[in-house]
Amino acid sequence: MGDWLLLVTLFYNFKTIQMNNTPMYLIQKEDLQSTIRDVVASEFKLLEERLLKSSNVLTREQAADLIGVTANTISRWVKEGILVNRGIGRKVLVTEHDLTVAKNGIRSKYTSKFKWA
């Protein structure tokens, strides 16, 4: 909890009062909400950057280009459970391994329907 209070002190003004020799920090609700929102957004951004640095994680567009389908097809496969979304929130990220498994499964099921690069 000390880290959070320290973080809040860096960005916002707040009041310190003493109660039974224990410092109490009074922070406005809006300031605390804004700080938490900023910290969470920053952590998600860092996590997304780490995932993208990994060579086997692809964006929706990269995955589509790799196997010769549209980005909407990748999204549909995620929605249908054919691919697992490794992204955060609405960001679609898939691994090359998952893409290969899905591609081979779809190819064997619809060999005459799809042409793969």
Digit-coded pLDDT (tens) for 74-113: 999 999 888 989 887 788 999 888 888 888 776 545 444 4
Residue type at 82 in one-letter notation: I
Contacts of 57 (CB under 8 A, 6+ apart): 51, 86, 93, 94, 95, 96
pTM beyond 0.75: the answer is: no
Higher pLDDT, 18 or 48: 48
Digit-coded pLDDT (tens) for 24-73: 777 788 888 888 999 998 888 887 777 666 558 899 999 999 988 999 99
pLDDT at 72: 94
